[in-house]
Amino acid sequence: MDLAVASGECIGDIYRAHHGWLQGWLRRQTGCGERAADLAHDTFLRLLGQREAKPLSEPRAYLTTVARGLLVDFWRRQALERAWLDALSSQPEPCAPSPEEKALALEALMQVDAMLDRLKPRVREAFLLSQLDGLTYREIGERLGVSERMIKKYMAEAMLNCLMLNTDDASG
Amino acid sequence: MPADKEKAALVAAAQWFARLGDEAVDEAERQRWREWLAAAPEHARAWARVEMIARPFSQLRSNAHPACSRQALREARREPRRQALRLLGIGAMALGGSVLLGAALPRSVQWQVLAVLNTGLATQVGEVRHVELDDASRLSLGTATRVRVDYSEELRRIVLYAGEIMLDSGVDRRTVPRPLVVDTEHGRITALGTRFSVRRLEGLTQVDVFEGAVRLAPVNGEGTVTVEAGESGRLTARQAAANGQASAARERWMKGLLIADNVPLGDFLAELGRYTTVKLEADRNVSHLQLVGVYRISEPARDLPLILAALEGSLPLRVQMTGRGDVRLIAK
């Protein structure tokens, strides 16, 4: 309890001293005031999420490090969104997804993209063909020019990779 | 790292996942999986994780267009993270330093050859896109624009749903050349060998012609109007009419340039506002100021702060950021 209060106060001080500055910095990065406000907000949420309240010797350096991570995610999301909307609009029947559909799909895309980030391209493609397109191992094998046994190995490798990634996150 | 037992369970779970996903899996194998699952609590925990990871995939699969998701994941990967980092670097120096706006030159346009014949195309706010069509017609899409390219045996048709396009019509090499038309909800614009821009506005469609001529025909009215090079025209659902000179600004956006040819600041901001989600406003005592200038807007996130800085430099005004991050221009 004491710790939470202490941490809250500590963050309150940092917030008062640096929030305006951080938001300005983010605005220059994104060219968008609304996004800057959101990202600044998220940066402080991250800070609150820290279990221990440690005094920061270089608060601005620390804040920009956290904010930079969020910004990279933000650009990534934009790239995905754009690619996804492009793909949708090049469908034979162009369709406009509802905001809810779009938000859900983008959230899922971000998760999937992050999970598959470190996979070898072939393993990644095999995993996507199976999990997104629902192709059978035989069909995937034909497409990639390898045996079904190999596809099964790819699938286990991809899944284990995702599993270990999430474990690292949870413990680190 | 997880304890050895947990880790072994994860390795086993990943293998079960791969086996169960095989179309050739049989009931005996499934039974063995159920036994494994019940054999130890860490097995059940590991499997719960597998399901958690599979969840966003099944969500995307049920989201109507799995192929689009796959394409998005692949395309977005090509746009490397470096770009984000580059933007970070450039963004950091945006407002400081000197700005060479007068020297903004049109950059050569990259034309993307459209591989598919008939398709929808769209740009986001602030984006400009250039495509070359099957008949070598060149189509540029301005900010926040949606079109559909619809070429058939009889007609080369482009439907403009929103925003603004510039079309440089190619020569149809068919024995019987097909007419090239742009349709909006207000009517049809027929190209007569030409370069022209079409912009959807509230209640009307504006057409600026730079080469050749076009014919305007309202959707619900009689009579057509021919607009020649250097002229502009307007099309409402009921009426087509000539509308004075063609505007240079309507020609240059496709090169990523925004032109203010002695226009009130308020009008310029409205135009600039089409390229960004930042709200731009001018106080009443500065919005009437006349502005002359050429501004680059090929990358709005980078160029917007530069333009605002340039306005501050050339007009007696100050750029103010509101608490919500909107921009207000106020008297100095």
Domain ranges of chain B: 4-73, 108-250, 256-331
Is B108 strand, coil or helix? coil
Question: Which candidate, B235, B161, B105, B67, places its Cα nearest to that of A105?
Answer: B67
pTM confidence score:
0.45
Per-residue pLDDT for B95 more than 60?
A: no
Per-residue pLDDT for B93 more than 60?
A: no
pLDDT-based confidence at B114, cuts 50/70/90? low
**Contact across the interface for A104 and B59, Cβ inside 8 Å:** yes
Tens of pLDDT along B187-206?
A: 999 998 788 999 999 889 99
DSSP B211: E
**Contact across the interface for B325 and A137, Cβ inside 8 Å:** no
A-contacting residues in B 274-313 (Cβ below 8 Å): 276-279, 300-302, 304-305
Per-residue pLDDT for B168 more than 80?
A: yes
Give the list of residues 6+ apart from residue B332 with CB closer than 8 angstroms, or none: B316, B317, B318
Q: Give me chain B's average pLDDT, please.
A: 80
Question: Which candidate, B322, B297, B299, B323, places its Cα nearest to that of B310?
Answer: B297
**Nearest neighbour of A30 by CB, restricted to B73, B116, B301:** B301
Tens of pLDDT along A113-152?
A: 888 877 888 898 899 889 888 889 999 999 988 999 999 9
* Burial environment of residue A92 by CB neighbours within 10 A (0 to 12, 13 to 18, 19 or more): exposed
- What CA–CA distance (Å, rounded) separates B49 from B38? 15
- What CA–CA distance (Å, rounded) separates A25 from B96? 12
Give the list of residues 6+ apart from residue A115 with CB closer than 8 angstroms, or none: A161, A162, A165, A166, B53
Phi/psi at B223 (5° precision) = 85, 135
What fold, for B256-331? Phage tail protein beta-alpha-beta fold (3.55.50)
Query: What is the nearest CA distance from A56 to chain B, expressed in angstroms?
Result: 23
CB–CB of A137/B22 below 8 Å?
Answer: yes
The whole-number pLDDT of residue B238 equals: 92
The whole-number pLDDT of residue A27 equals: 86
DSSP A133: T
Highest mean pLDDT pick, B55-64, B235-244, B305-314: B235-244
User: Cα A48–A50–A55 angle (5° rounding)?
Assistant: 85
- What CA–CA distance (Å, rounded) separates B8 from A128? 25
CB–CB of B300/B142 below 8 Å?
Answer: no
ipTM of model: 0.72
The whole-number pLDDT of residue A54 equals: 57
A-contacting residues in B 80-119 (Cβ below 8 Å): 81, 83-85, 87-88, 91-92, 94-95, 116, 118-119
Q: Is A57 on the interface with B (CB under 8 A)?
A: no
Q: Which residues of B touch A31 (CB under 8 A)?
A: 91, 94, 276, 278, 300-302, 304-305
Is B195 strand, coil or helix? strand
Q: Which residues of B touch A167 (CB under 8 A)?
A: 1-2, 6, 10
CB–CB of B154/B145 below 8 Å?
Answer: no
Q: Which residues of A touch B73 (CB under 8 A)?
A: 80, 83, 109, 112-113, 116, 128
- What CA–CA distance (Å, rounded) separates B297 from B101? 11
What fold, for B108-250? Jelly Rolls (2.60.120)
